[in-house]
């Protein structure tokens, strides 16, 4: 999806996170640069191919999704649109999500080439999850943890000893700033 966020106010707004929803479920997040009063920011976000089956779906984008910016009017932060998806049969069965359990911690090594990278995993049993984010070079990126319904558990530099989570699907988002582009990083997940 392509989007444009405009600061309708007269004062500057700091950078923020925009959430992307499909049929009421959060499927991702992306950074929006700081905006002077009246300024706009344009960007794009790719929704994973498996996020929508064939048929009509409602896509919603929500600027300042975590309500971090003090505003006089939050009612103009969202936009929704219905889209019709036509899919072709897959040649192969989809790959299973990585499974996180006590015997098998997960690790991802990537280069942050977008404002937000997301990783999905399945938690095999309830427990506390440790998430560590490390960069090859200095960075001020953050990591966020979401459940399948799009509920955000925390947003900071490293999530450790998060409250006990139920078994199920989760998404980790590594959120950088424009100066973090092309930074190599590693995310490690384990059961506490």
pLDDT single digits (tens) 37-83: 899 988 888 887 667 787 888 888 988 888 888 887 878 888 888 88
Higher per-residue pLDDT: 125 or 113: 125
State yes or no: pLDDT of 28 exceeds 50.
yes
Average pLDDT value for residue range 94-120:
61
* pLDDT tier, 3 (very low <50, low <70, confident <90, very high otherwise): confident
SS (H, E, C) the chain: CEEEEECCCCCCECCEEEEEEECCEEEEEEEECCECCCCEEEEECCCCHHHCCCEEEEEEEECCCCCCCCCCCCCCCEEEEEEEECCCCCCCCCCCCCEEECCECEEEEEEECCCEEEEEEEECCCECEEEEEEECCCCCCEEEEEECCCCEEEEECCECCCCCECCEEEEEEEECCHHHCCEEEEEEEEEC
Query: Which domains does the chain show, CATH number per domain?
Result: 2-85 (2.60.40.10), 99-191 (2.60.120.380)
Average pLDDT of the chain is 74
Looking at residue 178, its pLDDT comes to: 54
């Amino acid at each position: 999806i392509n989007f444009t966020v405009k600061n309708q106010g007269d004062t500057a707004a700091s950078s923020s996170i925009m959430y992307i929803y499909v049929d009421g479920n959060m499927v991702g997040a992306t950074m929006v640069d700081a905006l002077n009063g009246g300024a706009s920011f344009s960007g794009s976000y790719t929704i994973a191919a498996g996020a929508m089956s064939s048929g009509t779906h409602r896509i919603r984008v929500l600027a300042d999704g975590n309500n971090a910016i003090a505003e006089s009017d939050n009612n103009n932060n969202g936009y929704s649109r219905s889209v019709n998806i036509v899919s072709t049969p897959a040649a192969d069965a989809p790959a299973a999500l990585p499974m996180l359990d006590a015997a098998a911690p997960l690790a991802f090594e990537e280069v942050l080439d977008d404002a937000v990278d997301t990783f999905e995993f399945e938690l095999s049993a309830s427990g506390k999850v440790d998430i560590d984010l490390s960069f090859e070079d200095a960075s001020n990126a953050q990591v966020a943890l979401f459940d399948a319904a799009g509920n955000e558990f925390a947003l900071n530099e490293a999530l450790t000893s998060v409250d006990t989570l139920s078994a199920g699907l989760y998404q980790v988002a590594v959120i950088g700033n424009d100066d973090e582009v092309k930074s190599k990083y590693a995310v490690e997940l384990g059961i506490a």
